[in-house]
């Protein structure tokens, strides 16, 4: 199984809502990532978890709150988002260390209204 599964595929939320994005992998990877991708732009790294600990936070606003409850799951909790946060949110995973590659999920298309 070389899949990274993200749910939901599409999400529309209001600016006062609280929602969560979920990501799951069963490849035994110990590094997991959240990326944000705007239309016609490259993915921008938001967070990296290594061995279930947050190792990189790319100065992401606190309205985005990541969580890694175990080695297979990664969540992104959303609260009080702005319309400019509308984007494709990608989850990825990789084995930890050099000589590795990242596997990407299909993403969650988020629209903030």
Partner 1 sequence: AQSVSQHNHHVILSEAASLELGCNYSYGGTVNLFWYVQYPGQHLQLLLKYFSGDPLVKGIKGFEAEFIKSKFSFNLRKPSVQWSDTAEYFCAAFTGGGNKLTFGTGTQLKVEL
111 CB contacts (<8 Å, ≥6 apart)? 10, 11, 12, 13, 86
Residue 31 or 74: the one with the smaller Cβ distance to partner 1 is 31
**Which parts of this chain interact with partner 1 (CB under 8 A)?**
31, 33, 40-45, 48, 50, 55-56, 90, 92, 94, 96-107
The beta strand positions in the chain, using DSSP E, are 4-7, 10-13, 18-25, 31-37, 44-50, 53-57, 64-70, 73-79, 87-94, 103-104, 108-112
In the bound complex, what is the minimum distance in angstroms from residue 16's beta carbon to partner 1?
A: 30
Query: How far apart, in whole angstroms, are the C-alpha atoms of residue 43 and residue 2?
Result: 21
Residue 17 or 95: the one with the smaller Cβ distance to partner 1 is 95
In the bound complex, what is the minimum distance in angstroms from residue 14's beta carbon to partner 1?
A: 25
In the bound complex, what is the minimum distance in angstroms from residue 11's beta carbon to partner 1?
A: 16
Residue 42 or 83: the one with the smaller Cβ distance to partner 1 is 42
Query: How far apart, in whole angstroms, are the C-alpha atoms of residue 93 and residue 110?
Result: 20
In the bound complex, what is the minimum distance in angstroms from residue 19's beta carbon to partner 1?
A: 21
């Amino acid at each position: 199984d070389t899949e990274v599964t993200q749910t939901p595929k599409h999400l529309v939320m209001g600016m006062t809502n609280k929602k969560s994005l979920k990501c799951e992998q069963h490849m035994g990877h110990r590094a997991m990532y959240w990326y944000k991708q705007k239309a016609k732009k490259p993915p921008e790294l938001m967070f990296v978890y290594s061995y279930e600990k947050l190792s990189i936070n790319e100065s992401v606003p606190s309205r985005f709150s990541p969580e890694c409850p175990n080695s297979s799951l990664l969540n992104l909790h959303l609260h009080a988002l702005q319309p400019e946060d509308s984007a494709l949110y990608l989850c990825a995973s990789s084995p930890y260390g050099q000589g590795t590659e990242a596997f990407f999920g299909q993403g969650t298309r988020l629209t903030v209204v």
